[in-house]
Structure 1
Amino acid sequence: MKKQKIIESRITKRKSAKNIIQEDNDLFAHELEKQLPSIHVLKLSNTYLVNGYLVKIAGFKNYNSYTHTYSISKKRIILNFAKVILSNLLSKTKHIENAIFATDNWSDGYFHWLTDVLPRTLVAKKSNTNNNAELLLPKKLEGYDFAKITGKKLHQKLYFYEKNQVYQIKEIILPSHIANSGNYDKELMQEIRKLFTSPQKVQNLGKKIYISRQKSRFRKINNEDEVQQLLKKYNYETHYFEDYNFEKQIELMQQTTSLIGLHGAGLTNMLFMNPNTKILEIRNQEDKHNNCYFSLASDLDIDYYYLLSEGDSSHTHTVNIEVNIRKLEQSILEMEI
C-alpha cells in the first residue's frame, strides 16, 4: 500500500449570507471558517470489491472509512471476507486490471455525485498516470445520464459493477473523502464548474429561475400557488428539474443570474451558474445544521440569501413548508438591489 498526499490541510473561509440578520447569526457563525483535512490517495494492489466494500485478504484489511459514511458492523465485515473467500473457491471472481474507486453509500444521489464523487475522482486522476484505469460505479448509476456525461467530460472509462459479484482488482486508486459532507474544496468545485460550462457560449443570460419541488415525493411548499404568483410578478420562471436531463439543467443554469428554491438537490445546480450571481434558499426554520448550499455558494463566489420558513417537522428531508409571502417578497427585493 502506498499513501500519497494530494492536498494539504487548509482553512476555508466563507462569506456571510447577504441578508443575514443578527438573530440568525448562530445559523452560520460556525461555518464561516473551517479547518479542512488533508486529502490523500491510497494505491492498493490485489484488492477485492464486494457490494461497494473494499477488502484485502492479506492481513484481512478493510477500507470502510473510504467506501462508507458510517461505521460498519463486525458481522458485515466478516460476511464480506466470507463472500470473497467463497467466490475464489468457486472460481466466480471477476478480474479488473486498473481502477479508481471514489464512491460511498450516498453516491447515487445527485447532490452527492456532484459534490462528493466528482471531487474525489479529480483527486484520484491527479495522482494517476494510467489512462486505462476504470472508474468503478455501482450498477444503479448506469441509469443516470449525469454519470455517463461526467465520464465523457473527464475522458474517463466507467465500469458499472454488479451487486453480489466479487471482483479482484490488480491495482486500485482510492481517494480519501474531501471533507465532511456539505463542506468542499473550493478549487476542486471551481474546477468542476469549468468542466461542464462554457461562459463564452452562453446565450439568454439574465434568467430568473424558481425550482419547484411540487412533483417531488416529499419536501414541498404548502402554499406553492401563492409563491409562484409572487415570483411571476418579479419575472421568475418556474421549472421542474426532474423533467430535464442533465445537459438541459446545465444549459439553463448557465443562463441564470438569480435562483430561488426550497432546500433540495435542485440547488446543487448553482454549480453551473457564473460567479457573482445570486441564490435564495428557502429553509426549514427548525433546521440549524444543513448549511451545504450556503457553503457551496460561497465556494462558487455566488451571493447567498436565505428565507427561514415554518415547517411541519424538524426533519429537513421530509418537512413541508409554509412560506411567508411578505418575507419572500422582501427577500426578492433585497436580491434586486
Structure 2
Amino acid sequence: MTGLSESAAKRRKQLLRFISTDLLGPIAGKMPKSCIESLEKASFHANISRHILDIVPVTEARIVKHEVAAKLPPFLRTEAVFGKRNLYLLHNATVSPLSGMAWIENRVIEESVGSLRRIMDWGDVLHEPMLPVTELRVPQPVVVCHPASYYHWLLEVLPNVLFAVTTFPDVRIVLPEHSPRYVLDGLATALGPEAARDFIFSSTPVRVDRLVVPQYHAQPEFTDPQVLELLRSAVKAKVAPSQHRLGTPGSRSRIYISRGKSRRRLAGEAELEERLRQAGFSILHCEALSFAEQVRAFHEAEVVVGSHGAGLSNLVWCEPPCRVVEIFPKNYILDCFAWLSFSRGFDYRYVICDTGHKIDQLAMDAVLALVQ
C-alpha cells in the first residue's frame, strides 16, 4: 500500500496549518487575516508606516462611460469606476517573482495582486511566504515583472512596470528564471534591448531594501483608458510610429485570430477559417509572432475576428475605424474585449455559439454576415 494513512495525512494537514498560522497569522477560509487590504489605509499603523518610504499616485480616480450607438444587452457593460492607482515604495519588503505577491513582516499586501479573490482564484500562491527567501543587495529600487497570462500581463503587469520605470528611472526589474517569451520580448520592445542588462532573475522570493509595489485592481476585466494611453505612447509608438500611415478604408487587413494551436480551441474552427480565408482574411497565430510583429499586424487591421481569448488583447494596437467580431462559446461571456473595443471607439459585434464549445453553421453564417 502506498501513500499516507488517513491518520498520518490528518496530522500532516494539522502541522501545515500550524506552520501557516505561525507564519501568516490566523487563517479565515483560505486567507490569512493578517493580509493588508490597502497600504494607504493601513499607513497609520506604526509597524506598517515604518516600511513605507513613499506613496506616488500614477493615475487619477475616474468614472468612464462609453456612448455606444448600438443597443447592447446588459452583459456588455459600458460604464466603470476606476480608483486612484498608486505606486508604493517600501523599505525592507519581500516579493515573489512568480506572482508579484509582496509582504512585509509576514503580512501579505493585497494590492500587490489585486484582492483576496484573485489570490484564491488564480492558483496556489499562499505557500510563497513560506519559501526560502534570497537577500537581494542592490542599491537601486526593485520592481517585479511577473509572468501572468498574456491578457493580464499586457494590460496590467506591463503598464505597472512602465509606471515604475517612469517614476523611478533607476529601478531594477526582477523576473522568474524561466519567463515566457512574450514577457522578455515585450520588455525589450517597450524598454529597448539594452534594458535586459539590468534584469535580475530569481527562482525564489527576494527581500530587498527598496521595493516598488504597483497597485493592482480587483476588477481586471476593465482596462483604464489611462493605461491604454500609456501602452500606445510608450510601446506602440516605438513599433508603429505616428508617421506610419494606415491605408485607406478597404485596403487595410482583415484578420482572424486562430486558436488552432490552443487546447481551448472551439470545434469547427478549421471550417470557419477556410470560409474567412475565402472572404479575404489572413489567419493569424499570435503565439507564432514576436511581440513587435503582433503590434504591427493589429495596427494595420480594419476587421478583427476571433473567439474569446488572449489574442484579442492586441486590440489595444488597432486604429479606428475597426470592426471587431468576438465569438463566445455557449454559457461563457466576459465583456473585457467589448470594453476594450468601446474604449478605442471600435464597432464591436459578437456571436454566441448555441452548441457549447463548437462553432456551428449558424454561428459561422452570423460571423460571415457581420464581416461582409
Q: Same fold (TM over 0.5)?
A: yes
Could you tell me which of 165, 168, 171 is aligned with 1:125? 165
Q: 1:311/1:102 Cα in 2 relative to 1: closer, same or farther (>3 Å)?
A: farther
Give the Cα–Cα distance (whole angstroms) in 1 for the partners of residues 298 and 278 of structure 2. 21
The corresponding residue for 2:308 is 263
The corresponding residue for 1:8 is 60
Residue type of the partner of 2:286? F
The corresponding residue for 1:62 is 108
Q: 1:328/1:25 Cα in 2 relative to 1: closer, same or farther (>3 Å)?
A: same
TM-score, structure 2 normalization: 0.71
Alignment of 1:283-302 (within 5 A): 283-288=328-333, 290-302=334-346
Q: 1:219/1:100 Cα in 2 relative to 1: closer, same or farther (>3 Å)?
A: farther
Q: Using the TM superposition, give the Cα deviation of residue 32 of structure 1 relative to its aligned residue in structure 2, in angstroms.
A: 1.3
The corresponding residue for 2:148 is 108
Whether contact under 8 Å (1:178, 1:184) holds in the other structure is no
Q: Using the TM superposition, give the Cα deviation of residue 320 of structure 1 relative to its aligned residue in structure 2, in angstroms.
A: 4.3
Structure 2 unaligned regions, length at least 5: 1-51
Q: 1:244/1:122 Cα in 2 relative to 1: closer, same or farther (>3 Å)?
A: closer
The corresponding residue for 1:198 is 241
Could you tell me which of 165, 171, 181 is aligned with 2:220? 181
Q: How many residues align?
A: 303
Residue type of the partner of 2:160? R
Give the Cα–Cα distance (whole angstroms) in 1 for the partners of residues 164 and 136 of structure 2. 23
Whether contact under 8 Å (1:17, 1:303) holds in the other structure is no
The corresponding residue for 2:319 is 274
Whether contact under 8 Å (1:310, 1:323) holds in the other structure is no
The corresponding residue for 1:316 is none
Give the Cα–Cα distance (whole angstroms) in 2 for the partners of residues 328 and 198 of structure 1. 32
Alignment of 1:1-337 (within 5 A): 1=52, 2-16=54-68, 18=70, 20=71, 25-28=73-76, 31-50=77-96, 52=99, 53-57=101-105, 60-67=106-113, 70-71=118-119, 80=129, 83-84=132-133, 93-101=135-143, 103=145, 107-128=147-168, 131-141=169-179, 143-154=180-191, 156=195, 159-164=199-204, 166-178=205-217, 180-194=219-233, 195-196=235-236, 197-202=240-245, 206-220=252-266, 222-288=267-333, 290-312=334-356, 319-322=357-360, 324=362, 325-333=364-372
SS of structure 2 residue aligned to 1:119: helix
The corresponding residue for 1:88 is none
Q: Using the TM superposition, give the Cα deviation of residue 17 of structure 1 relative to its aligned residue in structure 2, in angstroms.
A: 7.6
Give the Cα–Cα distance (whole angstroms) in 2 for the partners of residues 189 and 123 of structure 1. 12
Q: Using the TM superposition, give the Cα deviation of residue 97 of structure 1 relative to its aligned residue in structure 2, in angstroms.
A: 2.9
1:45-97 superposed Cα distances (whole Å, 9 cap, x missing partner)? 1222345442334xx43324413653469x9768726734xxxxxxx633233
Q: Using the TM superposition, give the Cα deviation of residue 214 of structure 1 relative to its aligned residue in structure 2, in angstroms.
A: 1.6
SS of structure 1 residue aligned to 2:243: helix
SS of structure 2 residue aligned to 1:147: helix
Q: 1:149/1:232 Cα in 2 relative to 1: closer, same or farther (>3 Å)?
A: closer
Whether contact under 8 Å (1:100, 1:134) holds in the other structure is yes
Q: Using the TM superposition, give the Cα deviation of residue 178 of structure 1 relative to its aligned residue in structure 2, in angstroms.
A: 4.6
Give the Cα–Cα distance (whole angstroms) in 2 for the partners of residues 232 and 139 of structure 1. 40
Give the Cα–Cα distance (whole angstroms) in 2 for the partners of residues 82 and 150 of structure 1. 27
Whether contact under 8 Å (2:92, 2:209) holds in the other structure is yes
Whether contact under 8 Å (1:102, 1:120) holds in the other structure is no
Residue type of the partner of 1:272? W
The corresponding residue for 1:87 is none
SS of structure 2 residue aligned to 1:304: strand
Whether contact under 8 Å (1:17, 1:306) holds in the other structure is no
1:205-234 superposed Cα distances (whole Å, 9 cap, x missing partner)? 6011111112212232x2234322332342
Whether contact under 8 Å (2:189, 2:291) holds in the other structure is no
Whether contact under 8 Å (1:207, 1:256) holds in the other structure is yes
Q: 1:80/1:207 Cα in 2 relative to 1: closer, same or farther (>3 Å)?
A: same
Give the Cα–Cα distance (whole angstroms) in 1 for the partners of residues 299 and 215 of structure 2. 31
TM-score, structure 1 normalization: 0.78
Q: Using the TM superposition, give the Cα deviation of residue 190 of structure 1 relative to its aligned residue in structure 2, in angstroms.
A: 2.4
SS of structure 2 residue aligned to 1:189: helix
Whether contact under 8 Å (1:199, 1:254) holds in the other structure is no
- Share of identical aligned residues, percent? 19
Q: Which has the higher contact order (CA 8 A, sep 6+)?
A: 1
